[in-house]
Structure 1
Amino acid sequence: MPEGHTIHRLAERHRKLFAGRPVAVASPQGRFAADAARVDGRELEDTSARGKHLFHHYAGGAVVHVHLGLYGKVTDGDGAPLPPVGEVRMRMANGEHWLDLRGPAACELLDPPRLDALLARLGPDPLDDDSDGGRAYDSIKGSGRPLMALLMDQSIVAGAGLIYVTESLFRAGLPPTAPGARLSRRKWQAIWQDLRVLMRAGVAEGRIDTVRSAHTPEAMGRAPRVDRHGGEVYVYRRTGQPCLVCGTPVRTAVLNARNAYWCPRCQRAR
């Protein structure tokens, strides 16, 4: 599932391609047809993102909400779109550009009350300049749940997925199994600021890089990481490989139905 930086990048791109002009909206597949007809021909005023949720804001207050989930994909191009191939849930076009959405977990038109209800269910987004993460810490500080589970809970922190959570915990020196109740406010503020820095870099670069300058391939004289997710990381999907900091083999285990990765030396329980 795409992490929050990817959704913010999509919001920026869709704003660039479509905002400020009327947009033709259709649903070749048919599942979004009724809602598409309600915004077809309207001006797309703006786009936004919150966590892993993408929003298209149309004139008149209509908002199309998209959640890619595990299988959703967005493609776009210039000029007139070709005849649709496969299950295209939503197609947008304005004469100069087109966009196709396939396989999302959600593609729906929201009225203001439903939009407000959705936003209220989400925690603060590290990519939101107006958020300080305090509300997230209020949910973490009294919990016995593992930190990994807490940070991946979108009602606590919106947008951080398995890679960012795994890597931020490594950088903080905390094991993924540590209970939230043991996290100090000072340590949380450091994690929150780290997430903001890492995810902003992800928006800018279009990939997830979490290693500090001393641990890049160039600095260490090692080969770049080869993985379909790309980016240089400390422990994510590096099971059995030496930790880039101490050389201890990286461990993995299933935690809350997800694969957890950590260095048993750098992330010792305290």
Structure 2
Amino acid sequence: MPEGHTVHRMARLQRRRFAGAPVAVSSPQGRFATDAELVDGRVLAAVEAHGKHLFQHYGPDLVVHVHLGLWGRFPNRRLPLPEPRGQVRMRMVGETHYADLRGPSACAVLTDVEVKAIRARLGPDPLRADADPEEAWRRISRSRAPLASLLMDQSVIAGLGNVFRAETLFRCGLDPQRAGRDLGRERFDALWADLTDMLRAGERAGRIETTRVAGGDDGNSACAGAVYTYRRAGRPCLVCGTPIARTTHQGRNLFWCPRCQA
């Protein structure tokens, strides 16, 4: 599943290439056709991301909401415009670029009230200027749940997925099973700062690379290159040499170093 840095990068590129001008919106697949008619030909006023959610603002009560889910893709490319390939849920065509959305878990035109309701369910997003880490601290510091669960809970911190969870817990030397209420404020502040740095770097590069040492690139993941623990089960830790451990936690793979994160 694309993590928050991917959606923020997508929003930034769409602002640059489509915002401020009329956009032709259609649904070659047909599933978004009725909603596409509501915004077709309108000026795209703004594009923003909150966690893994993308919001395109075409006017009051005309906001296209997109969540990529597990398989969604929304690349934008320079014109000329080709014939649609595959199941294109939504097609945007601007003055210089076009973008085809495929495989999202959500794609619909919402009102401003509906957008506000979605955002109210989300925790602070470290990549947003309005993010308040105090909100995340309040929830974490009162919870008996393990950090491995809390960091994947979008109502606690928005935008994190499996890769960033594994990597920030390693970089901060935290046991994934430590209860949130046992974290302590100083270590939470370090965790928030680390997440912010990694997400910003990932948004700029369009790729997750988290290691501070040489030799982290195993070439075994399309979404993460130079990493400490993610998808490195059984391989030696890049810091201490201990084999990286893996287990299943709430249906998702969890990776950590038993020594560095003891």
- Contact 1:78–1:98 (CA under 8 A) maintained in structure 2: yes
State the aligned residue count.
Answer: 261
Shift of residue 95, structure 1, vs aligned partner: 4.0
Can you list the C-alpha shifts for 1:7-30, whole angstroms capped at 9, x where unaligned?
000001111111110011011111
- Contact 2:60–2:112 (CA under 8 A) maintained in structure 1: no
Shift of residue 61, structure 1, vs aligned partner: 4.4
- Contact 2:217–2:227 (CA under 8 A) maintained in structure 1: no
CA distance in 2, matches of 1:129, 1:75: 25
What pairs up with 1:28-177 in 2 under 5 angstroms?
28-177=28-177
5+ long unaligned stretches in structure 2? none
For 1:216, the equivalent position in structure 2 comes to 214
User: Residue type of the partner of 1:89?
Assistant: R
What pairs up with 1:228-243 in 2 under 5 angstroms?
228-243=222-237
Can you list the C-alpha shifts for 1:194-217, whole angstroms capped at 9, x where unaligned?
0000110001111111112xx123
Q: What TM-score results when the alignment is normalised by the length of structure 2?
A: 0.96
Cα separation, partners in 2 of 1:188 and 1:47, compared to 1, 3 Å: same
Can you list the C-alpha shifts for 1:182-201, whole angstroms capped at 9, x where unaligned?
11011111100100001100
User: Residue type of the partner of 2:217?
Assistant: P
CA distance in 2, matches of 1:28, 1:210: 38
- Contact 1:32–1:107 (CA under 8 A) maintained in structure 2: yes
Can you list the C-alpha shifts for 1:200-240, whole angstroms capped at 9, x where unaligned?
0001111111112xx123xxxxx732122242111111101
- Contact 2:67–2:107 (CA under 8 A) maintained in structure 1: yes
Can you list the C-alpha shifts for 1:157-206, whole angstroms capped at 9, x where unaligned?
00011111111111111111111121101111110010000110001111
User: Residue type of the partner of 2:214?
Assistant: T
Shift of residue 130, structure 1, vs aligned partner: 2.7
Same amino acid, percent of matched pairs: 51
2:240 aligned to 215, 231, 246, which one?
Answer: 246
CA distance in 2, matches of 1:27, 1:267: 48
5+ long unaligned stretches in structure 1? 218-222
- Contact 1:80–1:93 (CA under 8 A) maintained in structure 2: no
- Contact 2:32–2:89 (CA under 8 A) maintained in structure 1: yes
CA distance in 1, matches of 2:61, 2:48: 14
Q: Which runs of 4+ in 1 moved over 6 A?
A: none
For 1:181, the equivalent position in structure 2 comes to 181
- Contact 1:48–1:55 (CA under 8 A) maintained in structure 2: yes
For 1:6, the equivalent position in structure 2 comes to 6
Q: Supply the RMSD in Å over aligned alpha carbons.
A: 1.2
Q: What TM-score results when the alignment is normalised by the length of structure 1?
A: 0.93
User: Residue type of the partner of 1:256?
Assistant: Q
